[in-house]
């Protein structure tokens, strides 16, 4: 009897329970694509294993044959090609994105670079928007050129130029929504229409929106990417990346992941899965604080301008309202003053910590001219829209009233 129970539990290890496709965001975050495990534990176990054994040669050959045929074997062979804890996270993320499949990476940049290396052959062209993450732009404009892949950069929101920039060898359109740091919103209908009219694939980095505020695949995007380090993890304590889309595309990415080696760690995957379970609660608070703080800042006499998609003054507010369920917890704004004035304001706040990144429980604040673009000259920073008085505030899950009060006292000091 003990043997039969053990065998049954083993068989159920990969069973997926997906009874929550139409429930609310918190229910989906906790339960969608939940997997049984042989220990009947509520939380998915950490399988800290680099290699997996087979009962006998017949068992091994059956596994190899199934792999060749593309069948799900329900087990793993070697840590670089799969892990039960990582698989549990991938299934959860695929469910949240309404994707057929998803693949986990060691960080967001690993997801981006693997996607681009997989989808872009030598001699092809990629088009990206100018407000993409600076490391993405750097990879496209410098590293890919070494492989004979050209990169065209177009201003975000200029769809006429985007379409006219398509060349016979263009294979990919890449953008972000919202973008960093000005939170521009891509009109997904126009973006996808251009790509489909030219038989080009689309990739969107949706880290700022999370799968709860926007699901690009529902609009027709081919692949969506997240830096899971941010909102998905939610606690500033892990690094991970994810790409989600069709089974066909994700299969190609997973095969190349096994070659390139940017695999996630099982313990990090467990922490990510734990973070995802509170995603609905956290995103609701981020959205609430983002709207309240942006409205407060826009009314303040010492603030020059605020960028937040939830404000009617944002250039893409109408598009954001059509595509998004909420507008996130990042607010960018400029102080009325110079570099030193802005630094005094940042030093005066008490709740946000000075640092890069966003999406965690703690609020973070940065002066991009001195954080992400410190090595750039003033002229070069200004040419790409990074002014000395620009501030990016990544709101955490602290009480909204406390955040507003803290910003008020800091502004009183400049």
Burial group, residue 414, by CB count within 10 angstroms (0-12, 13-18, 19+)? middle
Catalytic residue among 92, 230, 254, 392: 230
Give the C-alpha separation, 61 to 286, whole Å.
Answer: 50
Give the C-alpha separation, 357 to 167, whole Å.
Answer: 35
In the three-class reduction of DSSP (H, G, I as helix; E, B as strand; rest coil), residue 72 is classed as coil
Give the C-alpha separation, 158 to 168, whole Å.
Answer: 20
CA distances from 357 to 164, 178, 235, 366 (A): 34, 15, 11, 9
230 part of the active site: yes
133 part of the active site: yes
Catalytic residue among 80, 134, 198, 277: 80
Give the C-alpha separation, 76 to 47, whole Å.
Answer: 11
Nearest to 363 by CA among 355, 350, 352: 352
Give the C-alpha separation, 56 to 29, whole Å.
Answer: 39
Give the C-alpha separation, 221 to 196, whole Å.
Answer: 10
| Strand 150-154 to 125-129 pairing | parallel
* Terminal-residue alpha carbon distance, the chain: 74
In the three-class reduction of DSSP (H, G, I as helix; E, B as strand; rest coil), residue 261 is classed as coil
State residue 140 phi and psi, 5-degree precision. Answer: -70, -45
In the three-class reduction of DSSP (H, G, I as helix; E, B as strand; rest coil), residue 84 is classed as helix
Catalytic residue among 133, 182, 231, 308: 133
Catalytic residue among 76, 101, 205, 388: 205
Question: Sign (positive/negative) of CA torsion 13, 282, 243, 108?
Answer: negative
| Strand 303-307 to 390-394 pairing | unpaired
205 part of the active site: yes
Q: Which two tokens stand for residue 242?
A: 């994810």
For residue 239, the 8-state DSSP code is -
Give the C-alpha separation, 109 to 123, whole Å.
Answer: 23
Catalytic residues: 80, 133, 205, 230
């Amino acid at each position: 009897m003990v043997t039969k129970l053990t065998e049954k539990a083993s068989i159920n290890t990969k069973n997926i329970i997906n009874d929550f496709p139409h429930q609310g965001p918190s229910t989906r975050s906790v339960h969608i694509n939940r997997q049984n495990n042989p220990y009947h534990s509520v939380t998915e176990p950490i399988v800290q294993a680099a290699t997996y054994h087979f009962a006998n040669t017949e068992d091994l050959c059956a596994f190899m044959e199934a792999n060749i045929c593309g069948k799900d074997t329900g087990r793993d062979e070697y840590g670089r090609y799969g892990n039960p804890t990582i698989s549990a996270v991938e299934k959860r993320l695929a469910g949240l994105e309404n994707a057929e499949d998803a693949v986990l990476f060691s960080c967001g940049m690993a997801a981006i670079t693997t996607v681009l290396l997989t989808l872009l052959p030598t001699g092809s062209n990629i088009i990206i928007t100018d407000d993409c993450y600076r490391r993405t732009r750097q990879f496209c404009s410098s590293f890919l050129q070494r492989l004979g892949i050209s990169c065209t950069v177009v201003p975000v929101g200029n769809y006429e130029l985007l379409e006219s920039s398509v060349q016979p060898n263009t294979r990919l359109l890449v953008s972000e929504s919202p973008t960093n740091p000005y939170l521009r919103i891509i009109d997904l209908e126009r973006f996808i229409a251009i790509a489909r009219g030219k038989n080009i694939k689309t990739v969107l980095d949706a880290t700022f929106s999370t799968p709860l505020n926007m699901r690009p695949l529902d609009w027709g995007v081919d692949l969506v990417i997240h830096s899971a380090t941010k909102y998905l993890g939610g606690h500033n304590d892990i690094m991970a990346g994810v790409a989600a889309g069709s089974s066909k595309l994700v299969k190609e990415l997973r095969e190349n992941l096994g070659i390139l080696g940017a695999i996630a760690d099982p313990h990090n995957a467990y922490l990510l899965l734990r973070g995802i379970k509170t995603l609905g609660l956290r995103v609701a608070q981020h959205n609430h604080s983002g709207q309240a703080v942006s409205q407060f800042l826009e009314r303040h006499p010492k603030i020059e301008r605020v960028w937040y998609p939830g404000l009617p003054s944002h250039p893409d507010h109408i598009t954001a309202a059509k595509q998004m369920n909420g507008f996130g917890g990042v607010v960018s704004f400029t102080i009325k003053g110079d570099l030193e004035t802005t630094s005094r304001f940042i030093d005066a706040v008490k709740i946000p910590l000075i640092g890069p990144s966003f999406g965690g429980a703690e609020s973070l604040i940065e002066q991009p001219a001195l954080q992400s673009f410190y090595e750039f000259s003033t002229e070069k920073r200004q040419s790409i829209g990074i002014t000395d008085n620009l501030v990016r505030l990544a709101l955490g899950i602290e009480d909204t009233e406390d955040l507003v009060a803290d910003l008020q006292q800091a502004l009183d000091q400049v």
